[in-house]
Amino acid sequence: MTTELSPIDKAKFVAAKKAVEFVEDGMRVGLGTGSTAAWMVRCLGERVREEGLKIRGVPTSTRTASLAKEMGVEVVSLDAAKWLDVTIDGADEFDAELNLIKGGGGALLQEKIVATASDQMIVITDASKEVDTLGAFPLPVEVIPFGWQTTQALIEETLVSLDVLGRSASLRMNGESPYVTDEGNHILDLHLKRIGDARQTAMILNQMPGVVENGLFIDICDTVVIGYGDGKAQVRDINAGTIEENMLDFVEGENLFADLSD
């Protein structure tokens, strides 16, 4: 039941519930990865079952694909969809210009490909993810396994010349073994603390041999939906320059997310 959720989980629920209102019949929808995005997939599934909503979803990870199928959402590949009407995804951080850090869930490569192949990207989040300057959350960088230690050393050496406060990188682990992405790559988490020039940082990182993609999403997000524990949803549209707020009612007995484990 939503009334039994923690304030942070209620905030995620509210953001997800509000964001799926942007989805219309016949749309091709990018489905993000992570705990907040999983709530969104379940909300979409509810609309599919109760309203007969017909959409095609393009998931950004194998676990999102599995959840979407479980919820009754039709899943297709990006190649089959070709172009998307909207992508809805979470974020680890966002700033006033709606630049993002993503990749905490390990799916940054597919997430960036899908988001940039969309007419619109909507980010769903809670207020704790908003920052004045990106960088407190470790910046994920996907690298190929071959020579990853050399790539790490090159990154750390290059960070000396960038406007960042921290310059260390660590290999993301999954227990005793390196974390492996859906594409078979590793992730280096950069502990930068503060990123003074996110655009420059993203460009330089992607020029390095061994780097596949980084988790800085610059000029990609169009709208952010911020959920609050009291049921308030705030929608910020960077293109229109508008901020809208409304309240969503929690449904007594709601059980959509009782077994959500992501």
Give the whole-angstrom CA distance, residue 155 versus residue 99.
22
111, 142, 244, 254: the active-site residue:
111
d(CA 219, CA 86): 15
| Annotated binding residue 32 | no
Per-residue DSSP letter, 96: T
Q: Is 112 annotated as a binding residue?
A: no
Tokens representing 72?
């009754």
Q: Is 132 annotated as belonging to a binding site?
A: no
Instruction: Could you list the beta-strand ranges (E) of the chain.
Output: 28-31, 56-59, 74-75, 86-89, 93-94, 100-101, 121-126, 139-143, 168-171, 173-174, 177-178, 186-191, 211-214, 216-217, 223-227, 232-237, 242-247
103 labelled as ligand-binding?
yes
Secondary structure of residue 98 in the 3-state scheme: coil
Is residue 170 part of an annotated ligand binding site? no
Whether residue 210 is annotated as binding a ligand: the answer is no
Query: DSSP code of 211?
Result: E
> 163 a known binding residue?
no
User: Is 175 annotated among the ligand-binding residues?
Assistant: no
Nearest to 188 by CA among 221, 220, 206, 211: 211
Q: Does 35 belong to an annotated binding site?
A: yes
Residue pair 28/58 in contact (Cβ under 8 Å)? The answer is yes
- Judge whether 82 is annotated as a binding position: no
Q: Is 92 annotated as a binding residue?
A: yes
- Annotated catalytic, 97? no
Q: Is 91 annotated as a binding residue?
A: yes
Stated as kind and residue range, the H or E segment containing 197 is none
C-alpha pair distances (Å), 89 with each of 24, 59, 108, 176, 254: 17, 10, 11, 29, 23
**Is 10 annotated to bind ligand?**
no
Residues in the annotated binding site for substrate: 33-36, 89-92, 102-105, 129
Residues labelled as active-site residues:
111
- Annotated binding residues, as ranges? 33-36, 89-92, 102-105, 129
